[in-house]
Amino acid sequence: MSDSKIHRFHCDVCSIELPTRFTYPMHYIPHKLSKIAAAEVMDYALNQKQWRDELMAGKMLGVLVVKDNNGMLGYLAAYSGNLAHTGEHPYFVPHIYNLLEPQGLFRTGEAEITEINHSIEALENSPERKETEELLSTILAKHEDEEIKMRQAMESAKAKRDKLRSEGNISAEQEAALIKESQFMKAEMRRLKKRHNAEIEIITQKLNDFQTIINDLKAKRRIKSEQLQNVLFKNYVVNNARGESKDIATIFHQRFNRLPPGGTGDCCAPKLLQYAFLNGLKPVCMAEFWVGQSPQGEVRHHGHFYPACRSKCLPLMEFMLQGLNVEDNPLVTTSNKELIVVYEDQWLIVIDKPAGMLTVPGKDKEAESLLEIVHKMLPEGENALEVHRLDQATSGLVVIAKTKDIQSALRQQFEQRKVHKTYLALLDGCPAEQEGIIDLPLRPNTDDRPRQVVDFKNGKQAITHYRVLEHRGNRTLVEFTPLTGRTHQLRVHASHPQGLNCPIVGDMLYGTASDRLHLHAQTISFTHPVTGDKVSLVSHKHLNSK
């Protein structure tokens, strides 16, 4: 292999059976070849002293096992974003488009935007603007003091008038004088406020002039930024296995009618595939893995494998994988499974959902959801209406209403935390304590949905009680009782270093992929919205049931 980007395996891999289909990068269990390649890349990268600190601060790396024109096996390596402030390193595949080229579009456009930023900063911090703000503050305080004194004078005069009137025996001329005094003082207050408003308006207008210029600069910056992004993304041209090419701006416009998020095209997966396609290499399997510390608030474990991100990579993968024989998405092949009905009456039905089945219809409509299947099961005239959801990868009890009134009543119980649920989870590791409370607020990762992050400032409260049930070697069976109902709450609370620091087995988003996510909604209890009886149900399935 003459190409310096293709690396030979350090060990003999001839006896390892090749995969029959290429990795589905959004949901996969790494092939043995990918694991070996990843270990070799990590060993190489962490032995480069000039990168070690940067890598250990946290970085996604990736490998793509390939065959060259002679049928020889090797692998390519990539990193997400930049490394040591560049996208060019002999060991790794290059960027699809080099943003950091000194005279390139990005540098030129970035310089223009930086100049606008400096102008905005200069205006916001200009001595004249600050002096005007201080003057306005001083005058407002002075005006408030003058108006307070005027009101006090008016109240004092009114009290004297009221006293004279209460004593009686005042003449018509005196009454007229009292009225005239009241009218005069009210008019004086109006004149005082008018003078104040006129004075304030002059100063406020001066500040508004500053703000108008600042707002115009911000609008100019936004337009330039959007134009720059659009031009740059037009230069990110990706190929697929059919030999077709398309820029990523067009891909996102056709899929979402919007520009790609910042950083699209700089992740490992598209960089690896692009290099393979441009150099006549046949992709065999791939994987991405995390090196170093977890990002603030997120859950990434050193050495663990992760799927490609959905917000940036999924649309690119849908195009780039065309022409390859790719594994099926395991999350869209579950609709043929027989559903177990745990409870049913004329108002509601409770189903034991299998792992891998959507609770409600998905955006892509690739697989039937639980609601759609249940609707077909019900007699004509009955509906299947969502009350709550389980993650697609989670199995267990799901309550479904048959009428809108029942749906509303049951949802209210969920919102008021009157529904009691427990989950069984098999953890990869052993929690430090046998029982406790996890309180870590969560919010969506806007750059990589559906992942969630811990955010103590902007996150929503998420509380979970846990109890260890038994130890199974280096794995632990626990019972989770969620006291709130946030997306991926149990998964993040199990995985996060400030939680149990023990990912749920099979959690490819926050841990390591396996045959399935070992999380099961085991029990649920609620008040029947019609009879008022307590309904308490237990799943008869187990964690190792699909």
Name the residues annotated as catalytic: 391
- Smallest CA-to-CA distance from 312 within 266, 348, 278 is with 266
Identify whether the C-beta of residue 454 lies closer than 8 Å to the C-beta of residue 440.
yes
- Answer yes or no: are the C-beta atoms of 309 and 321 closer than 8 Å: no
- In single-letter form, the type of residue at position 499 comes to G
Q: Which of 381, 247, 343 is nearest to 537 (CA)?
A: 343
Residue type for 446, please?
A: T
CA 183 to chain centre: 63
259 neighbors 252 (Cβ within 8 angstroms): yes
In angstroms, the CA 231 to CA 226 distance is 9
CA 534 to chain centroid:
37
8-state DSSP, 302: T
Separation of alpha carbons 317 and 252, rounded Å = 12
What does the alpha-carbon distance between residue 466 and residue 469 come to, in Å, rounded to a whole number?
10
Helix axes 32-46, 49-56, angle to 10 degrees: 120
Distance CA 530, CA 439 (A): 34
Q: Which residue pairs from 406-410 have beta carbons closer than 8 angstroms and sit at least 24 positions apart in sequence?
A: 406/347, 406/348, 406/529, 406/530, 409/529, 410/348, 410/526, 410/529
The answer to whether residues 426 and 475 touch, using CB atoms and an 8 Å cutoff, is yes
CA distances from 242 to 239, 246, 249 (A): 8, 12, 20
Residue 285 near residue 65, CB atoms below 8 Å:
yes
CB atoms within 10 A of CB 154: 16
